[in-house]
Amino acid sequence: MALDVGGKSVETDEEGYLENRDEWTQEIAEAIAVSENLEMSDSHWEVVNFLREYYEEYQIAPAVRVLTKAIGKKLGKDKGNSKYLYELYPYGPAKQACKIAGLPKPTGCV
Amino acid sequence: MSTKKFLYVNRKAPYGTIYALESLEVVLIGAAFEQDVSLAFLDDGVYQLAKGQSTEEVGMKNFSPTYRALGDYDVNKIYVEQESLDARGLTLDDLQPLTYEDEDDDWAEKDSIKVVSTAEMAEIMEQSDVVMSF
């Protein structure tokens, strides 16, 4: 599959995850968000940026339970809970936010 | 669902075969099921935890940083066999430190790695309900 971003074609797998993580740009993130019917707010970006940092450090996309706990630790309890994260990303914070962040699907996610 | 004691036994060097990475992925996936998980490293498996791994020359992903995420997954019982370290001229200092935050102790940061003797390792295996060998 391919995603068209500003006239450039970007390769994704059949579920829409980027084939090459290094190609990621903010513009690509916005385009993936549109395909997910999401409008990126500062709160959405906060989660995406957090995931990219987590991946940089540990080389994995965290499971949703781990993501929730880690967000709570870094950004505060009001954000480190399922309700908040599912409001931002209704189809699963780990799944959707990872896709927008240009990361692989979280390990263990089906 | 009752909790079972799972032990994942790692005996192979990190690269060259897929065993180490597969084991790590199974552990991370299994951690979602909230079982009592321990990891054992023996023989060449102790190299999986070695500091300063670089995989550029072999063209494989360096997944050693992922072991540091185990604490986040509540996997914090990591046993390394003393005899395996000795046979390879390694000590605990040659391994990357792995830590977790103890929820029952005001989130104090604690070491996950424990070096044990062959006899202690046998006891750990004996007490596990499920042993998976990689």
- What CATH code is carried by the domain that includes residue A16? 1.10.10.370
**Are residues A62 and A54 in contact, defined by beta-carbon separation less than 8 angstroms?**
yes
Chain A contact for B25 (CB, 8 A cutoff)? yes
Q: Report the alpha-carbon distance of residue B56 to residue B67 in Å, rounded.
A: 19
Instruction: Report which of residues A106 and B126 the model is more confident about.
Output: B126
Name the fold adopted by B5-133.
Hypothetical Protein Ychn; Chain: A, (3.40.1260)
> Nearest CB to A107: which of B28, B65, B72?
B28
pTM to 2 decimals?
A: 0.89
Q: Is the pLDDT of residue A110 over 60?
A: no
Average pLDDT over residues A31-49: 94
Q: Is residue A62 part of a domain?
A: yes
Residue B124 Cα, gap to closest chain A Cα (Å): 27
Residue A106 belongs to a domain? no
Residue A54 lies in a domain: yes
Q: Is residue A109 part of a domain?
A: no
Residue A6 is part of which domain span?
2-100
Q: Determine the pLDDT at residue A51.
A: 95
- Where is pLDDT greater, at B42 or A73? B42
Give domain status of residue A107, yes or no. no
At A18, list the tokens: 């980027």
Q: Distance between CA atoms of B117 and B101, rounded to whole angstroms?
A: 25
Tell me how far CA of residue B66 lies from CA of A34, A60, A75, in angstroms.
31, 6, 22
Q: Averaged over B79-89, what is the pLDDT?
A: 98
Is A109 a catalytic site residue? yes
**Could you report the predicted ipTM of this complex, rounded to two decimals?**
0.85
- b/e sequence B35-49, b meaning 16+ C-beta within 10 Å: eebbbbbbbbbbbbb
Residue A108 lies in a domain: no
Catalytic residue among A1, A2, A34, A109: A109
The total of structural domains in chain A comes to: 1
Query: Which residues are CB-neighbours of A70 under 8 A, at least 6 positions away?
Result: A50, A54, A62, A80, B72
Domain boundaries, chain B: 5-133
